[in-house]
Copies of this chain bind each other. A is one copy, B any other.
Amino acid sequence: MNVAFIGLGTMGAPMVRNLIKAGHTVTVYNRTPAKATAFAKETGANAVLSPQQAAEQADISITCVSDSADVEAVVLGDSGIIHGARPGSLVIDMSTISPGVTCHIAEVLKEKAIAMLDAPVSGGSEGAQQGTLSIMVGGAATDVERAMPVLNAMGSTITHVGPIGAGQITKAINQIIVAGTYWSVAEGMTLGLKAGLDMERVVQAVGSGAAGSWGLSHRSANMINHEYPLGFRVRLHRKDLAIALETARELGQPLPVAAYVEQMESSLMAKGYGDEDISAMARSVREMGGL
């Protein structure tokens, strides 16, 4: 398939490699052109100078950029995808952005007979490299079907969760649950450390029951050792939580614990820990207890 890919960041670059490996012809655009040129030379992708140009030959145009404003710019802006993409083609946004903005972009594209899916991912840079991302897809079933050859090249779990925007809301739900789960693990670990317990044994004792979680199994060691290597950056999770809270506000749903954790992540960023893994939440709990 002819694929346009916009955004060669930590996630985008390995995703393109997997598209090429799966036999797709990929045209890439990146805000820093030198990066795109070097990447094209190495991988056999074609590098072009605008999202518009990238979209011209594409069956599917994929965006994987930082935030809502970036997606709007590369899809709807001057030299954006909308000016190059053929009627009947498909745009897939794999960034994590506002569901409201997603729906707005989809409406504008629809006027030009261009379809859209939102397909944010989880699984991190490791999942992007190994092609094992979990992809949460919103949009029409027929569009999801024709996107499967490219989605399958990048992810191992592809779930169609509902109409356009549903992928972004699902990603928001993911980050809300991550927030409270990690935070409560941090509270538990810190109490045990204050009490002088052997925390590896404690994790073993509580990990197999109702307190068990991915966060407890995979990130409690960071909290115990007080070292927070990447992982998933605090600043990116905080960005996602801000989207979740904005969405919740629009839907009239208070999320007190997610809101609290967002504030504490803002505090971590203010103290210079924004590029650590989100298990660094334990820094905040430790500090409260003078540990």
Determine how close the nearest CB of chain B comes to the CB of A51; give it in whole angstroms: 28
Determine how close the nearest CB of chain B comes to the CB of A250; give it in whole angstroms: 9
* Cross-chain contact A187 with B177 (CB below 8 angstroms): yes
Which of A39-47, A52-60, A106-114, A153-161 sits within the interface? A153-161
Determine how close the nearest CB of chain B comes to the CB of A180; give it in whole angstroms: 2
Q: Which of A245-291 contact B (CB under 8 A)?
A: 247-248, 251-258, 260, 285, 288-291
Name the B residues within 8 Å of A174 (CB-CB): 188, 205-206, 209-211
A198 at interface, CB cutoff 8 A = yes
* Cross-chain contact B122 with A206 (CB below 8 angstroms): yes
* Cross-chain contact B134 with A170 (CB below 8 angstroms): no
State which of B198, B213, B255, B256 has its C-beta within 8 Å of the C-beta of A162: B198
Name the B residues within 8 Å of A285 (CB-CB): 253-255
Which of A16-24, A85-93, A189-197 sits within the interface? A189-197
A81 at interface, CB cutoff 8 A = no
* Cross-chain contact A288 with B169 (CB below 8 angstroms): no
State which of B159, B180, B202 has its C-beta within 8 Å of the C-beta of A183: B180
* Cross-chain contact B255 with A191 (CB below 8 angstroms): yes
State which of B179, B210, B216, B290 has its C-beta within 8 Å of the C-beta of A184: B179
* Cross-chain contact B177 with A188 (CB below 8 angstroms): yes
* Cross-chain contact A257 with B257 (CB below 8 angstroms): yes
A115 at interface, CB cutoff 8 A = no
* Cross-chain contact A205 with B136 (CB below 8 angstroms): yes
For A178, A244, A260, the residue with the greatest tally of chain B CB atoms inside 10 Å of its CB is A178
State which of B188, B195, B204 has its C-beta within 8 Å of the C-beta of A176: B188
Question: Which 4 pairs across A and B sit closest by C-beta, in order of nearness?
Answer: A180-B184, A213-B213, A159-B205, A253-B289
Report A's interface with B, CB cutoff 8 A. 99, 122-123, 134, 136, 157, 159-162, 166, 169-170, 172-181, 183-185, 187-192, 194-198, 201-202, 204-206, 208-216, 218, 232, 244, 247-248, 251-258, 260, 285, 288-291
